Structure 1
Amino acid sequence: MEITDDRAFPAALTALSGIDFPWEYDEEADEASPGNMDYEPYQEFDSAEETADWIRSWTGNKELDGAEFRVFGQDGTGGLAALWLVRPRPLAAQPVVFFGSEGEVGVVATSLGEYLWLLAGGIGPLEAVEYGADGGVPHAELRAVAEKHSGIEPRTPAEVLAAARAEFPDFAETVQSWCR
C-alpha cells in the first residue's frame, strides 16, 4: 500500500477541537474524578517532521519516519492519539491508536467513526488502553458530533474496543518490534 502525505484534517476531528473535554483531579483521593477523559484534541495533524521526531523518540528507532501515522490529539502526560495508515482506504477509515507517555500502546477504534462513538460513551484513548470500556460517562456534545460525523450507527465503548482488538490483536507486538 502506498502511504500518501495527506494531512487534510477530517471534519470530525475539527468538530472535536471545539469541545471542552471533562477533566478534574481529586487531590484528596489522588486520582481522576469519575467520568473524566484526559484528552486534548488538536486543530491539525502534527507535521511529518514532528511525527518522525516523536516515533523515533518513543521507540528509540532512528530508522522510522512515522509516515504511517497522523497524530491528532494528546493526553495531559503527552500520550498521543493517531490515525494508523495501514489500509488502502481514506484517512477516516484508518484505525485510531494511542501511544502513552509511559509505554502504554493500543488500537482504540477501527476507524474515526468508531472513535467518535468511543468518545461519546465517555472513554478517551488513554482510558481505553489503560482501563477498557468501563467507567465512561456518556457525553451529549460528543454524541452530537458522532451522530453528525461518524457515518455509522451508534456503538458502545465496549463494542468499539472489542472490534478494534479483534481486528488488530498484534498491534502492541508490532510496536514492540520497532523499539530499540
Structure 2
Amino acid sequence: MTPTDDRQLPSALAAVAAITFDYADGEGVDFEPYPAFWSADETTEWIRAWTGNRGLTGEEWRVFGMDGTGGQGAFWLTRLNRPLSDQPIVFLGSEGETGAVARDLHSFLWLLADGMGPYEAINPRQRDRAPRPNPELAAIAERFAPAARQSAATVISLAIEEFPAFDEMIKERCR
C-alpha cells in the first residue's frame, strides 16, 4: 500500500462516518467516526504518546474514530498481504483500556448495527447489554456485508478468540 491509497476510508466506513451516533445519556453508542483516517504523522504521534514508546511508528494502525473520552478505534494491520477490510478493528482507550473489537470491517458493521461501538465492545460492563439495533447502521451493514450478519455478542466473542494476546502485545510496547 502507498501512503495515498491506504489512507482512504473504505466505502462502508465512509457511510458509517456519515451517520450521527446518539450517546443517549449512556444508553447509546459512544462513538464519533472521523471523515478520514488520520495521517501517518498523526497516527505515529498518537501511538507514541499512548504507549510512551518513541520507537514506534503508526504504520500498523489506521485510526478512524473516537469515543467521548478520546479513546481511538482503529484498524490493526496485522494480517500480511490482506486488504484493509480484512484487518481486525481494535480500541485503545484514553485510560489504558485495550481490546480487539471485530475480526474485520464486515463484522464491525454488524457490531454497530446491533447498537454497540468500539468502547462498549471492550468494556465488560457494556458488552453484555441487550442489543439496541440501529436501522441506519443495519442498512449500511446489509448493503456492504449482507453475508456477514452476526450479533454484537458473536462479533466480540470471535474477535477475542482470534486475538487473545492483543492486550498483552500492547502492554509489552508500553514504556
User: Shorter-chain TM-score: what band?
Assistant: over 0.9
Match of 1:90 in 2: 83
Match of 1:54 in 2: 46
Q: Distance in 1 between matches of 2:49 and 2:130?
A: 32
Letter in 1 for 2:42: E
1:153 aligns with 2:148: yes
What does the per-residue CA deviation read over 1:71-127, in whole Å, with 9 as the maximum and x for residues that have no partner? 001111100000000112100000000000011100000000000000000010001
The answer to whether the 8 Å contact 1:72/1:81 transfers is yes
Give RMSD over aligned pairs. Answer: 1.2
- 3-state DSSP class of the match of 1:71? strand
The answer to whether the 8 Å contact 1:123/1:133 transfers is no
Letter in 1 for 2:147: I
Equivalent pairs counted in the alignment come to: 170
Aligned ranges 1:1-180 → 2 under 5 Å: 5=3, 6-25=6-25, 32=26, 34=27, 36-87=28-79, 88-130=81-123, 131-150=126-145, 152-180=147-175
TM-score by length of 2: 0.93
CA shift for structure 1 position 66: 1.5
CA shift for structure 1 position 4: 5.2
More displaced, 59-68 or 152-161?
152-161
TM-score by length of 1: 0.91
The answer to whether the 8 Å contact 2:107/2:148 transfers is no
What does the per-residue CA deviation read over 1:34-68, in whole Å, with 9 as the maximum and x for residues that have no partner? 2x100001111000000000000000000000200
Q: Distance in 2 between matches of 1:39 and 1:107?
A: 16
Q: Distance in 1 between matches of 2:96 and 2:68?
A: 15
Structure 1 or 2: more helix by fraction: 2
Letter in 1 for 2:112: L
Structure 1 residue runs of 4 or more that deviate by more than 3 Å after TM superposition: none
Q: Distance in 2 between matches of 1:104 and 1:142?
A: 25
CA shift for structure 1 position 23: 1.2
CA shift for structure 1 position 133: 4.1
Letter in 1 for 2:108: Y
What does the per-residue CA deviation read over 1:18-40, in whole Å, with 9 as the maximum and x for residues that have no partner? 11111122xxxxxx2x2x10000
Return 5+ residue gaps in structure 1 as ranges. 26-31
Letter in 1 for 2:141: A
Letter in 2 for 1:84: W
The answer to whether the 8 Å contact 2:106/2:148 transfers is no
Q: Distance in 2 between matches of 1:133 and 1:108?
A: 14
The answer to whether the 8 Å contact 1:119/1:142 transfers is yes
